[in-house]
Structure 1
Amino acid sequence: MKALHIAATGMRAQELNVEVISNNIANMRTTGYKRQRADFQDLLYQNLRRMGTNTSATGTIVPTGVQIGSGVKTASTARIMTQGNLAESGKDLDIAVRGEGFFQIQMPDGTTAYTRDGSFERDANGQLVTIDGYAVQPGIVLPQDARDVTISADGQVQIVDAGGAIQQLGQLQLARFINKSGLEAIGDNLFLETESSGAAVVGTPGEDGFGDLMQKHLEMANVEAVSEISDLIAAQRAYEMNSRIIKAADEMSATTSNIR
């Protein structure tokens, strides 16, 4: 029976849906994480009686027809790039983006990755890096005797040196994309540019549509626990209903097989 195959596609779809939801919940405390949502599409239809066809020589037509669907497929796991809550951390090198924009990160192979995770450190050379040691671009080097590090809303990095003088170290910049949901997630809170996202547009925080920066703050994941749990319950019920269809189709097939 076709119902067996159709219900099986529904169960597979809800399995993937639960996997997406579980990943969201697992990353509820991940800095800068952006939740995902599973989107589905119906599969091809079999036309047993096509709508719009003539039913007589006088021109009468079939108003609706008969179509039998073949199930469901996963169309995408869209990433929802809404702003997460900003939490105060009290650490000088923690920076949150309030609004549009990603920090630029230089990878070991020379490519540029992008992140909303502003929990930065400085390495043995004083360079501003991620917690995995990847350099933040443009490069900022903090002297060994640097104190009172200040990062302004527009990305200017200043320190007070050993002599008590204010020293300008550099300017942080942000990158934004026409379609930021088209970025490819590679783990470690990093994204890569793709054909779908479009090329990165680099600019100064607080200008030309870019968000501004907040020192001593971090952006939390944009995952809402109540929403994820309700989606999980809905996915579980949909899975159960599809499994019942398989059971009913099996019982109907057994009844047919037992007819004498």
Structure 2
Amino acid sequence: MRSLWTAATAMKAQQLNIDTISNNLANVNTTSYKAQRLEFKDLMYEALKRSNLSDDGGRPVNLEVGHGVMPVATTRSFGQGNIMPTNGTFDLGIDGKGFFEVILPNGEKRYTRDGSFKLSIEDDEKKLVTSNGYYLASEDDSDIIISNDLEDITIDEMGNITGRDEEGAIVDIARIKFVTFMNPEGLLSDGQNLYKATGASGETNALDGEEMTSKIKQGYLETSNVEIVEEMVKMITAQRAYEISSKSIQASEEMMQLTNNLKR
């Protein structure tokens, strides 16, 4: 019976759906996390009878039976999360579209909206890094170094970093590299709040201050855009779909049992 295998595909699909929803709920407090949504497509169909129209009439529609469902993609929503104050000097929230660029120890580049940066002391130099120690890139693709004699570090909405020296003069330090993508949904999630550019996302587009429409907020962080109530509704719907599919298998099994008992 096709219904056994059809219902089985539905149960597998809803199991993966629950996994996706659970991951969203698990990251409800993760800085700048973007919620994922699982997408489905129906499987191939078997045409038991084809439509066959003629001048004298005929069959106007097909007689088809499907073979279930399959998950095909996880789409990530890059909608804006709330910008919450932290008063941290190196906490940076992005209000709008775009990403910070960070440099891994092997020289590869990754992209993030998590602006909870820290100071790392190396050879008596202070560098801006992520929580994992990855360097935050400046617009000239170098590390951002902050001199020890500078105080009152300020980062403006365009990513320009300045400080005040011992004489009270304003000193330009660097500008944070800020990039966008033609298709951010095509980015590959790399974990640790990082994304990797792919052919689907397109090339990075580094923006200067005049091109930026987004704003960088010092002393703020972007929260997760997961809506708990919405995810709970999705979970209940997926659970009911899984339950109904299991009942379809039970019904098929009972029908097969009745058929086997006919010979008695």
**Range class of TM-score, shorter chain:** over 0.9
- Local SS of the residue matching 1:127: strand
2:58 and 2:158 map into 1 onto residues whose CA distance is 66
Q: CA deviation at 1:164?
A: 2.0
Question: Which of 188, 198, 202 is residue 198 of structure 1 equivalent to?
Answer: 202
Q: Secondary structure at the match of 1:29?
A: coil
Normalised to the residue count of structure 1, the TM-score between the two structures is 0.95
Q: Secondary structure at the match of 2:145?
A: coil
After TM superposition, the structure 1 = structure 2 runs for residues 8-47 of structure 1, keeping only pairs within 5 Å, are 8-47=8-47
Separation in 1 of the partners of 2:204 and 2:56?
57
Distance 1:209 1:12 in 2: 44
Aligned to 1:156: 160
| SS of aligned partner of 2:247 | helix
Size of the aligned set, in residue pairs, is 256
Mapped to 1, the partners of 2:128 and 2:95 lie a distance apart of: 20
Deviation at 1:162, TM superposition (A): 2.5
Counterpart code for 2:2: K
Residue 236 of structure 2 aligns with which residue? 233
Q: CA deviation at 1:136?
A: 0.6
The one-letter amino acid of 2:153's match is V
1:259 equivalent to 2:256? Answer no
- 1:247 aligned to which of 230, 236, 250: 250
In structure 2, runs of 5+ residues without a counterpart are none
Amino acid at match of 2:21: I
Of 119, 123, 132, the residue aligned with 1:122 is 119
User: Aligned partners of 1:121 and 1:84: how far apart in 2?
Assistant: 22
2:220 to 217, 222, 238: 217
**Cα drift, residue 82 of structure 1:** 0.6
Q: 1:209 to 1:254 in 2, by over 3 A?
A: farther
Q: Percent identity?
A: 39
Opposite residue 9 of structure 1, the aligned amino acid is: T
Summarize deviations over 1:7-53 as a string: whole Å, max 9, x none: 000000000000000000000011111110000000000001123x2
| Counterpart among 173, 179, 191 of residue 175 in structure 1 | 179
Residue 158 of structure 1, CA deviation = 0.7
1:81 paired to 2:78: yes
Sort the Cα spacing of 1:259 and 1:209 in 2 relative to 1 into closer, same or farther, 3 A.
Answer: farther
Partner Cα separation in structure 1 for residue 213 and residue 18 of structure 2: 34
Structure 1 residue 171, shift from structure 2 partner: 1.1
Deviations 1:41-89 (A, max 9, x none): 00000001123x24x6x45342121110000000101111111111101
Structure 2 residue 65 is matched with structure 1 residue 68: yes
Q: Give me the CA root mean square deviation.
A: 1.2
Paired with 2:81 and 2:192, the residues of 1 have a C-alpha distance of 17
Gaps of 5+ in 1: none
CA contact (8 A) 1:101 1:210 kept: no
Residue of structure 1 equivalent to 2:146: 142
Farther-moved stretch of structure 1 (126-135 vs 142-151): 142-151
Kept in 2, the 8 Å contact 1:103–1:116? The answer is yes
3-state SS of 1:255 partner: helix
TM-score where L is the length of structure 2? 0.94
The CA deviation string for residues 119-141 of structure 1, in whole angstroms up to 9 with x for no partner, is 00111131111011111111321
Q: Displacement, 1:229? A: 0.4
In the alignment, is the contact (CA less than 8 A) between 2:158 and 2:212 conserved in 1?
Answer: no
Identify the range of structure 1 (61-70 vs 83-92) with the bigger mean alpha-carbon deviation: 61-70
